[in-house]
Amino acid sequence: MSALPNRPRVAVVTDSTSGLSGAQLPGLDAVRIVPLLVQRGEQDFHENVDITGAEVLSALQSGEVLTTSRPAPDEFAAVYQELAAAGYEAAVSLHLSAKLSGTYDAAATAAKTAPIPVEVVDSKTAGMILGFGANAAVEACQAGAELVSAENAGSAAAATARHMAKTATEVMERGRVLFYVDTLDFLHRGGRIGSISALLGTALAVKPLLTVADGHIELSEKVRTRRRALERLVARTLTSGKAILDDVPAVDIAVQHLGAPRAGEEALRQITAGLGSGVRHRVLTDAGAVVGAHVGPGVVAAIVAPVGCE
C-alpha cells in the first residue's frame, strides 16, 4: 500500500476469501484483510484468525454442518478509520461477489461515512482471482497510477483510487476461475447453486466443473470421473491462459484446494509447464475456511489472471 514519493497514499483492503493469507506474493504484506466468519454451533470464528482451512476440512470430514457470515459494517468502518489515522488519503476495498455474500454491502455501507474516500468494488467473483485483483491494485499504486486533474475528478488520492479500482476490476474480469468439486451437496446446502444443478450432480454421479460468471456459481462442464475432471481443469486453464497471453505479457496462476494437496500440486505443475515463460507468479494454497465450508473436501480450483492490464 506504499506510494512513490509525492504520490497519494492509497490503501488496499480486501476480505479473507481472497486467498492472500497463504499466497506469499511480494508487496502484499500491508494489504488490510477483513475476515469473514465461520459459525460452528453457537460460536463464531474469524477466518485466518481463529479458524483455518485445515480445521474446516477436519470439521466437514467429521460431519459437522458449518455456516458462514459476512463481517459487520462496523468492522469495515474501523479499518477505514485506522487507515485514515495512519495517514492514508483514500482506499480501494475489493470484495467477494455481492451475489454470493453480503460482504460487499457491508463494506459499501461503512464507506459512506468513512473519513477518507473509499472505492468499494464488487469483484463478481471469488477466491484467488480476488487476491490477484488486490495485487494489481497495489501494483497500480506503486507504479504511480496516472492521475486525472483535481479540477475534473476531485483529489489526486481519490483519482488514484479510481484508477486502482479500474485496474483491479479489469484483471478480475479478464481472469478465469474453474473449479472441481467432489459433490454439489455443500454448495446446494449453502444456497449457492439451484436445486436442479444439485440434483444433476448427485443423481447422475456427475463430477462437475464449475465457474463464477457475473457473480454466480455456474456449471461449466460435466464429466464422469474425478481423474477426467482434473484433466479437463488443467486443459481448460491452459487454453484460457494462452488466450490471455495473446494480449498481455504474462499471467499469474493459482491452484487452491481443500484436502487435495497432491492433486493441487500436480495441477499447478502442469499449468506452469504448459504456460512456460508466460507465468509470473504461481501460487498453491488451500481454499480457506469460508470458501472451504461452501465447496467441501476435495475441491481443486485453478485461477489464471492477466498481468499488465491498463
The string of DSSP codes covering 3-19 is --TTS--EEEEEEGGGS
Q: Are 237 and 271 in contact (CB under 8 A)?
A: yes
pLDDT digit string (tens) for the chain, length 310 residues: 544 445 689 999 999 999 998 788 887 777 999 999 999 988 999 999 999 999 999 999 999 999 999 999 999 999 999 999 999 999 999 999 999 999 999 999 999 999 999 999 999 999 999 999 999 999 998 776 455 444 444 488 999 999 999 999 999 999 999 999 988 888 877 766 655 455 555 545 678 899 998 898 988 998 989 999 999 999 999 999 999 999 999 999 999 999 999 999 999 999 999 999 999 999 999 999 999 999 999 999 999 999 977 6
Burial of 112 (0-12, 13-18, 19+ CB in 10 A): exposed
Buried b (16+ CB within 10 A) or exposed e, 54-75: eebbebbeeeeebebebbebeb
Distance, in Å, from the CA atom of 34 to the CA atom of 72, rounded to the nearest integer, reads 10
Q: What is the value of pTM for the model shown?
A: 0.91
Residue that has been written with the C-alpha cell 505443475 in this structure: 269
CATH domain 176-307 topology: Hypothetical Protein Tm841; Chain: A;domain 3 (3.30.1180)
Report domain extents, the chain. Answer: 10-36+71-173, 176-307
Looking at the domain that runs over 10-36+71-173, which CATH code has it been given?
Answer: 3.40.50.10170
Distance, in Å, from the CA atom of 140 to the CA atom of 5, rounded to the nearest integer, reads 14
